[in-house]
Structure 1
Amino acid sequence: MCALYRSLNFKVIVDSTAGALRVTVMAFLIIFGSATFSALLAFSGASAGLLEWAVSFELSPLSMLFIMFGILLVLGMFMDQLSMMLLTVPIFFPLASQLGFDLIWFGVIVLLALEISFTTPPFGLLLFVMKGVAPPDTKMTEIYMAGIPFILCAIAVVILMVIFPDVALYLPNLVK
C-alpha cells in the first residue's frame, strides 16, 4: 500500500519493522511462558494431579465439559485467546481424553468457546474492534448489547454440537 500511495520511505520501514518486532516478541514471550508452564506441569506431576483432582469430583462427562466451557468463557473476559489456549490446553485435553471425548470434537468446542469469549464483556477483543469502527458517539454498553445475539447464536451452535457430535466430526470422518 505504501508503494501504491508513494509514501514508502526509511521512517515507514523502521516504524513498521519496530511494530512487527514488538508484536512478534510479545507472541514469543507468551509462547515461551506457556511452554514453560506446560513443561512445569508435566515434570512436576501437577498435570496428572490436576487430572486426578478433576476426575475425583465424579461428575458426568457432560458436566465437566460445561465446567471447562465456563472456565474458558470467564478467562476470555480477561485474557487474550492465545494465552487462554496455552494455559488451558495442557490441562483440558488430557482431561477430555480421560473423559472419553473425541479430541477433534472437543477441539472444535474449545475453539467455539474461544470465539465466544472474543465478544464477552468487559475485555473481549472484538468489542474493542467494534468500538473502533463504530461512530464516535457509540457507548460501550451499546456495543456489549450488539454482541449478545452473536454470543447466543454461538452458544446455540455449541449446544447443537454437544447434542449432535457428528456435526463437528462429519468432515474429519470423511478423511479417515
Structure 2
Amino acid sequence: MTHEMIAMTMFGVMMVMLLTGQRVFAAIGAVAAGTALLLYGDGAIEMPFSQAFKVFNWFPLLTLPLFIYMGYMLSESGIADDLYKMFHVWFGTMHGGLAIGTIGLMVVISAMNGLSVAGMAIGATIALPELLRRGYDKVMVTGVIQAGSSLGILVPPSVVLVLYGMIARQPVGQLWLAGALPGLMMATLFIIYIYVRCRIQKHLGPTLSPEELDIPLVEKLRLLRAGIIPFLVFFLMTGLFVMGYTSLVESAAVGALAATAAALFKRRLTARVLHQTVRKTLGISCMFLWIILAALAFGAVFDGIGAVRAIETLFITRWELSPWEVLIMMQLSYILMGMFLDDTAMLVIVAPLYVPLVGALGFDLIWYGVLYTITCQIAYMTPPFGYNLFLMRAMAPPEISLIDIYRSIIPFVIVMTIGLMLVVIFPQIALWLPNTVYGN
C-alpha cells in the first residue's frame, strides 16, 4: 500500500468513527495507535509515551487550565451578569440596542475566557431570555448570541490560538495580537449589521419602555463600574504580558488570581462558586489534554509515512494548483469538517498536514492562524451539523426551534465571510499589531 493510500485510509476510518458518535480523542487516538502497530509493530508502543512527554514538556500548556479557570470564576461569581445590566441600560435607548450591547458583552467575555462555549452559555442563559422578554425577534437574537460567542476563539486570550501556536511552533503572544484587531473588526461588523437592520425594521429590536429609560444619570454612572473589574483583569493578564513584564504562563496565573480576587472583592467567592469553577475547569482541561495527546500521536504517524510531502506533491505537482488555490481548498475543507467537529478537533486533525504546507507555500503562519480561526467561526455555525447550532439548541428555550436557529445564522455567516475576505485581501489587519509590538 502506498503512503497516499495509508493516509487516505487513516482519514477515512477516523471520519467514520467520528460519525458513529465516538469521542474525538478516542477516534483520533485509536486510528493513530492501530496504524502505528500495523506499520511499526511492537515498537509503536513507545509512541504514546513519547508524545505524552512532548505534551508535558511544552510549558505554555499550563496556560489552558488557568485561562479556563479565570473565565469560569468570572462567570460563576456573577460578574458577567453585572456587565449585562450595564449594557442593558446604556444601549437600551436605541432600536437593536440590547442586541448591540450583547455583542459588547460577548467581546468582554471573550477577553476574559478564550472559549466560545463560555460566551454561548452566558449569552443563552443571561441575554437571550431578556431579549425575548423585551420583544426582540427570536431569529435575530439567536443569531446574535451564536455570532457573538464565536468571538471567544479569536479575541485574546484565545485558547484555540494557544493550541495552534503549540502545533505550528509560533509565538502565542504574536498570535494573540494578530487576533485582536480582526476580532474587534468582526464585532464591529456585527454591530453595524444589527444597527442598520433594526433601523430599517424597527420591530426586530424595540427600545426599552419609557419607565425603564427613566433612570437617573447617577444610577447610569454607577452601573459603569461593572466594566472596571473585567477591564482590570484583562489589563493585568494581557497588558503586562504584551509590555514584557510577565511571561505567557505568568500572565495566565495573574489572570486567574485577579479573577479570584475580583470574586472575593464582590463578596461572591462562596464554596459553591469555587466548587463549580474547579469542576468545570478540570473537565474542560482534561478534554483538551486528551485531544492534544491523540493529535500528536496521529501527527507522528503521518510524519513517519511522509503524508505531508505526498499531499504537497498532489496539490502542487500533479494538480498544478497555485498557492492561493491550495489555500482556498484548505479553508473549504475546514468548512466541511466544521459540520461535524468543533474547532479544537479540526485543528488537531489537519494542522499537522496543513501547517507545513502553508509554510512551504510561502504564507505567514501567524496570519494563517487568524485565517484558520475565522474559518472555524464560520464552520461551526454552518448547517446542517455546525457545532454552535446544537449548543444553541441545547440551551435555547422551547419557543426557539432548530429551523429558527438555522435561519438565524445566515446573515451573520455572510458578515463573517466578508470579514474573512478582508483579512485575506489585507493581511496587515492581522499582522500590523504583532509586527508593531514585536518590531518584526
In the alignment, is the contact (CA less than 8 A) between 1:51 and 1:94 conserved in 2?
no
Determine if the alignment matches structure 1 residue 166 to structure 2 residue 428: yes
Name the structure 1 match of 2:301: 40
Deviates more, 1:98-107 or 1:20-29: 20-29
In the alignment, is the contact (CA less than 8 A) between 2:338 and 2:386 conserved in 1?
yes
Q: Report % sequence identity.
A: 34
Q: Give 1:97 deviation, angstroms.
A: 1.2
Q: Give 1:133 deviation, angstroms.
A: 4.2
Name the structure 2 match of 1:110: 372
CA 26–167 in structure 1, closer or farther in 2 if over 3 Å, else same: closer
In the alignment, is the contact (CA less than 8 A) between 1:77 and 1:122 conserved in 2?
yes
Determine if the alignment matches structure 1 residue 86 to structure 2 residue 365: no
TM-score w.r.t. the length of structure 1 is 0.84
In the alignment, is the contact (CA less than 8 A) between 1:72 and 1:117 conserved in 2?
yes
After superposition, the C-alpha distances for 1:72-98 in whole angstroms (9 at most, x for unaligned) are: 000000012111100111111111112
Q: Give 1:32 deviation, angstroms.
A: 1.6
Name the structure 1 match of 2:32: none
Deviates more, 1:155-164 or 1:24-33: 24-33
Unaligned runs of 5+ in 1: none
Name the structure 2 match of 1:30: 291
Name the structure 2 match of 1:73: 335
CA 64–132 in structure 1, closer or farther in 2 if over 3 Å, else same: same
Determine if the alignment matches structure 1 residue 60 to structure 2 residue 322: yes
- Aligned pair partner of 1:125 in 374, 383, 387: 387
In the alignment, is the contact (CA less than 8 A) between 1:41 and 1:47 conserved in 2?
yes
Determine if the alignment matches structure 1 residue 142 to structure 2 residue 393: no
Q: Give 1:4 deviation, angstroms.
A: 5.5
Determine if the alignment matches structure 1 residue 49 to structure 2 residue 313: no
Determine if the alignment matches structure 1 residue 156 to structure 2 residue 403: no
Aligned length: 173
CA distance in 1, matches of 2:270, 2:367: 49
In the alignment, is the contact (CA less than 8 A) between 2:339 and 2:387 conserved in 1?
no
Q: Give 1:123 deviation, angstroms.
A: 2.4
Name the structure 1 match of 2:86: none
CA distance in 2, matches of 1:17, 1:112: 30
TM-score w.r.t. the length of structure 2 is 0.36
Unaligned runs of 5+ in 2: 1-75, 78-266
Q: Comparing both chains, which one has the higher relative contact order based on Cα–Cα distances under 8 Å and sequence gaps of 6 or more? A: 2
Q: Secondary structure at the match of 1:100?
A: coil
In the alignment, is the contact (CA less than 8 A) between 1:69 and 1:113 conserved in 2?
yes
CA distance in 2, matches of 1:16, 1:94: 37
CA distance in 2, matches of 1:5, 1:45: 52
After superposition, the C-alpha distances for 1:28-74 in whole angstroms (9 at most, x for unaligned) are: 32212111011111122222222222222211222111111100000
CA 159–18 in structure 1, closer or farther in 2 if over 3 Å, else same: closer
CA distance in 2, matches of 1:151, 1:35: 31
In the alignment, is the contact (CA less than 8 A) between 1:51 and 1:91 conserved in 2?
no
CA distance in 2, matches of 1:157, 1:166: 13
CA 23–158 in structure 1, closer or farther in 2 if over 3 Å, else same: closer
